[in-house]
Amino acid sequence: MSDAQRQREGEAICARLARWMDTITSTGTTPAGSSRLPTVAGFWPLAGEPDLTAVLRALDARGIRIALPVMTGPGLPLEFHRWRRDDALQAGPFGVMQPARGQPLQPDIILAPTLGYTRKADRIGYGAGFYDRTLAAMHNAGHSPLAVGIGWREGLIDTTVDAYVPQAHDIPLTGILTPDGWWPAEPNAVGKRT
């Protein structure tokens, strides 16, 4: 992708994400069913990833709690720690920018960077399994957040052509958001696909 294309498509993702977040937060109910504003776990982009920071800053300005992932060690689930739009970040493992560690938050919505994905919302990440472990740990603890992959249209894997086989530990996401829209469909406030 050229820089100009990445910029255009990143803006399209952010516009779709902002509209979706407006819909989700206007219901007055988090995906987990409480009556507070949701806690949203985003990510700070690595080179080449969609940059959601403008949306995260806008959500924070509206009073929505934003968290970013913190890697606590190899083979461990991620923790999500509070981030505010003026907070400094520090480089963590793999060059991922992380907030200062405070008290971990339990996100209602997780936005996950996605290198590849299927039409069924299977996600391919960087191969270390952090998001799969994290989602599995949350599910085992009785918490199932809306998990949304964020990716470029070029990441779509055509399973009728490409040799993609989900691994036993892979956890499908609620949906994948791309510049063109949602796969397989836009999720609603309770995690169902509309």
Asked if residue 72 lies in contact with residue 79, where contact means CB atoms within 8 angstroms, the answer is yes
Reported as a single tens digit per residue, the pLDDT across 33-87 is 555 788 999 999 998 999 999 999 999 999 999 999 999 988 899 999 999 999 9
Cross-strand pairs, 172:
none
The residue to which tokens 């779709």 are assigned: 16
Query: What count of other Cβ atoms lies within 10 Å of the Cβ of residue 109?
Result: 27
Domain boundaries, the chain: 3-28+36-161+173-183
Judged by average pLDDT, the poorest of 33-37, 44-48, 119-123, 132-136 is: 33-37
Band of pLDDT at residue 165, cut at 50, 70 and 90: low
CATH number for the segment(s) 3-28+36-161+173-183: 3.40.50.10420
Could you tell me where the DSSP H helices lie in 28-71?
Answer: 53-61
Q: Which amino acid is at 133?
A: R
Residue by residue, DSSP assigns 90-122 as: EE-GGG-EEPPP-SB---SEEEEE-SEE-TT--
